[in-house]
Amino acid sequence: MTEIFSGSFTQQEPIPEAGIEAALTVLRSGRLHRYNTALDEVAEVAQLETEFAAFLGARFCVAVASGGYAMGCALRAIGVQPGDDVLTNVFTLAPVPGAIAAVGAQPIFVGVTETLTIDLDDLEAKASKAKVLVLSHMRGHLCDMERLMQICDAAGITVIEDCAHTMGASWRGKASGTWGALGCFSTQTYKHINSGEGGFLVTDDPQIAARAVMLSGSYMLFDRHGAAPDPEQFADIKYTTPNVSGRMDNLRAAILRPQLADLETQAKRWNDRYRRLDLALRDTPGLTRIERPAEESFVGSSLQFLLLGWGDAAISEVVKRCAARGVELKWFGGAEPVGFTSRYDSWRYAESDSMPVSDRILRGILDIRLPLTFSFEDCDTIGRIIRAEVGAVFQAG
Ligand SMILES: *Cc1c(COP(=O)(O)O)cnc(C)c1O
């Protein structure tokens, strides 16, 4: 009998009871806006910012409306102007070039390697082309962060990290999001903590943090922010920094705080599932697994593999056959953007030279989500199905 998988690739776990309780308390108070506090009350948002900064080992955190907003805010906070060029990964998700375009700047794409990280040789070659890099740790893969920072420091490039998939991850023990001048995180439903929508911007630089507080909308209430730099950091910028409202509210923060406290445990659970599936895919003919470097500590909330050198028709066939058996593979190389996958040439607002070396890799990337609602047995089943269908198409081709 053909084995069919019936689980849902988009079903996350419920919000912890403590989060639901805290959310009800906020709702009952009516004080959802972060600056709407009772005497001596520290808003849920400010408490979350303090806790998230401490969790990362960063000085400041500003909680905002989304991960995409955090990136746009980061670009504005370091002074990126319309017309500027900004380096970024060719393998990323649409909100990244979108954030660059939103401030009127243009992305210059940097290639991807077979380990699904930014191509540091290509970065070095393009380093003189821009003063800013939005580094997307796409699908949770961290590059050699020491070498990346050497390249960027030598070229005077400011690094903004897109940590949408690396909350809880680190390189050589240093948290993702603390290597560059700024780190941006998302708390959208499909990331590592879930408030529906939401995001964080983190930095050690008090001027950048002050600008982010002003940008995200403080109505000159920054001295009541609760987790902002000292008021003197605002003296020079408060008249010149526009209000581009995008704050987080207390309801979301209340939901997130217990999840942040659980993140390390959750990361282990994700990695147990990741290893289980990865093991099931070992030695599948035609399939290239992604080896994870020893320096990288990751959160395996999704798994990627490559069908390198395969034709489009054969890859489509694998996707179709797996789908027929209940296994949702996302193909990043498809010519048309589908769901959350899209390729750099589908972002037609951002012109790019063709990138044949990256194209070959992008064409072969397949992606699978691993929500924590999957059991180990689910991972085994998914592994068997992928293995069988990749094997069948590979042999036929
Ligand atoms: C989800 C995501 C973002 C942005 O997150 P939103 O909160 O949805 O704006 C940024 N980068 C990557 C790689 C993402 O997957």
pLDDT digits (tens, 9 = 90+) for 188-229: 999 999 999 999 999 999 999 999 999 999 988 999 999 999
- pLDDT over 70 for what percent of the chain? 99
| Beta strands at 365-369 and 330-331: parallel, antiparallel or unpaired | antiparallel
**Given this model, what pLDDT does residue 372 score?**
97
The kind and range of the H/E element at 71 are helix 67-77
pLDDT of 339 higher than 80: no
Structure tokens that stand for 351 in this block? 């012109």
Q: Architecture of 263-396 per CATH?
A: Alpha-Beta Complex (3.90)
Residue 45 and residue 260: Cα distance in Å, rounded? 13
Ligand 1 binding pocket mutation candidate from 162, 163, 167, 332 (most atoms within 8 A of CB):
162
| 141 burial via Cβ count (<10 Å: 0-12, 13-18, 19+) | buried
Q: What is the mean pLDDT of residues 234-252?
A: 96
Is the CB of residue 162 below 6 angstroms from any atom belonging to ligand 1?
Answer: yes
Q: Which of 12, 71, 91, 96 to mutate to test the pocket of ligand 1 (most atoms within 8 A of CB)?
A: 96
- What distance in Å separates the CA atoms of residue 207 and residue 222, rounded to the nearest whole number? 13
What was the pLDDT predicted at 126? Answer: 98
- What's the rounded Cα separation, in Å, for the pair 183 and 142? 14
Whether the Cβ atoms of residue 165 and residue 137 lie closer than 8 Å to each other: yes
Q: How confident is the model at residue 99 (pLDDT cuts 50, 70, 90)?
A: very high
Please report which helix (H) or strand (E) contains residue 394, including its range.
helix 376-396
Maximum Cα–Cα distance across the chain: 71
**pLDDT tens for residues 260-306?**
999 999 999 999 999 999 999 999 999 999 999 999 999 999 999 99
Question: 333 CB under 6 A from ligand 1?
Answer: no
- Asked if residue 89 has its Cβ within 6 Å of ligand 1, the reply is no
Side chain identity at residue 304, one-letter code: Q
Residue 27 scores a pLDDT above 80:
yes
**Would the CATH topology of 17-261 be identical to that of 263-396?**
no
pLDDT band at 349 (very low <50, low <70, confident <90, very high): confident
What pairs with residue 160 in β-bridges? 134, 182
| Residues 285 and 104 sit within 8 Å (Cβ to Cβ) | no
Q: What is the CA radius of gyration of the chain?
A: 21
Give the model's pLDDT for residue 132: 98
User: Looking at residues 173-192, what average pLDDT do you find?
Assistant: 98
Who's near 379: CB < 8 A, 6+ residues apart? Answer: 273, 276, 277, 280, 370
Confirm or reject: Cβ of 96 under 6 Å from ligand 1: yes
At the second CATH level, the architecture of 17-261 is 3-Layer(aba) Sandwich (3.40)
Mean pLDDT of the residues in the chain: 96
At residue 73, the pLDDT reads 98
Q: Judge whether residue 342 has pLDDT over 90.
A: no
Every domain of the chain and the residues it spans: 17-261, 263-396
pLDDT digits (tens, 9 = 90+) for 102-155: 999 999 999 999 999 999 999 999 999 999 999 999 999 999 999 999 999 999
Do 87 and 134 touch, CB atoms closer than 8 A? yes
Give the total residue count for the chain: 397
d(CA 139, CA 55): 21
Please state the φ and ψ torsions of residue 184, each to the nearest 5 degrees: -120, 135
Average of per-residue pLDDT across 66-93:
97
- Cα–Cα distance between 30 and 75 in angstroms, integer? 33
Residue 345 has what pLDDT?
83
Query: What is the C-alpha to C-alpha distance for residues 174 and 183, in angstroms, rounded to an integer?
Result: 13
pLDDT in tens, 319-329: 999 999 999 99
Closest CA to 353 of 118, 155, 111, 116: 111
Q: Is the minimum distance from the CB of 66 to ligand 1 under 6 angstroms?
A: yes
Pair of tokens at residue 339: 């769901």
Does the C-beta of 297 come closer than 6 Å to ligand 1?
Answer: no
Among 88, 142, 186, residue to substitute to test ligand 1 (most atoms within 8 Å of Cβ): 186
